[in-house]
């Protein structure tokens, strides 16, 4: 019995990989899954797919799973992963590319709906908070 399992990326998925690599400016295949990014991530506890797993799924072009992941919205771009990656892969840039793909594709699909917050909640926020949140989580 042939027990060989071949992991290949189909043509459609290769297009997605190329897009993420282009927007992020990163070479996804450089990752060897050491896990340092996930170990230091301050948002890991709130993520469904850990940063190292995001890179693995991105290598395989698993668009649907990635764009549906809560993780891409939980990343705050603190860049701890970037500064510790031994291969100098900028994981936060890959996640930004995924966010941008989700925000740019099709209908307006903002993750943060700021007008749904109560006026009281909005009134205490400094502009640095509101503007950075909208820059990251809305189109």
Partner 1 sequence: MGNENKPMKLAYYPGCTLKNQATNFDVSTVSSMAKLDVEVEELDRWNCCGTVHALDSDNVMNRVAPITNMIRVKEAQARTEGMASEFMTSCAMCYNTLKRANIDVKQRADALATINDFLSLETIKYEGDVEVLHLLEYLRDRVGFDNLAKKVTKPLKGLRVASYYGCLLVRPKEVAFDDVENPMVMENLIRALGATPVDFSQKTECCGAFHTVGKPDVIAERTDKIMGSAHEEQADLVVVSCPLCAFNLDFRQDDAKRLNPDFHNMPVLYFTQLMALAFGCDESALRFDLQHIDPLPILKTRGLG
Q: Residue 122 gets which letter from DSSP?
A: H
Distance between CA atoms of 121 and 25, rounded to whole angstroms?
A: 37
- The values of phi and psi at residue 87, to 5°, are -100, 5
Smallest gap from residue 115 Cβ to partner 1 (A): 12
Q: Name the residue nearer to partner 1 (CB basis): 14 or 46.
A: 46
Q: Give the per-residue contact string, 42-61, with partner 1 (x = CB under 8 A; - = no).
A: xx-xx---------------
Q: Cβ of 132: how many Cβ atoms within 10 Å?
A: 13
Residues in the chain: 139
What six digits make up the tokens of 47? 């993520």
**Candidates 2-10, 27-35, 48-56, 74-82; binding stretch for partner 1 (CB under 8 A):** 74-82
With respect to partner 1, which residue has the nearer C-beta, 1 or 76? Answer: 76
- Pick the closest to residue 53 from 29, 39, 70, 35 (CA basis): 35
Closer CB to partner 1, 83 or 109, in the complex = 83
- 138 binds partner 1 per the rule CB under 8 A: no
Residue whose CB is less far from partner 1, 50 or 100:
100
The site for partner 1 (CB under 8 A) is made up of 22-25, 42-43, 45-46, 74, 76-80, 82-83, 90, 92-93, 96-97, 100, 112, 114, 117, 124-133, 135-137
């Amino acid at each position: 019995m042939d027990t060989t399992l071949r992991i290949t990326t189909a043509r459609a998925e290769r297009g997605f990989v190329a897009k993420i690599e282009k927007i992020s400016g990163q070479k996804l295949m450089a990752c060897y899954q050491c896990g340092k990014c996930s170990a230091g991530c301050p948002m890991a506890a709130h993520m469904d797919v850990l940063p190292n797993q995001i890179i693995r799924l991105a290598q395989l072009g698993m668009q649907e799973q990635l764009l549906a992941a809560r993780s891409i919205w939980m990343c705050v771009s603190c860049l701890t992963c970037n500064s510790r990656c031994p291969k100098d892969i900028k994981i936060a840039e890959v996640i930004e590319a995924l966010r941008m793909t989700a925000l740019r594709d099709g209908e307006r699909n903002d993750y943060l709906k700021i007008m749904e917050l109560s006026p009281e909640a909005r009134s205490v926020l400094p502009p640095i908070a509101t503007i950075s949140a909208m820059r990251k989580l809305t189109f």
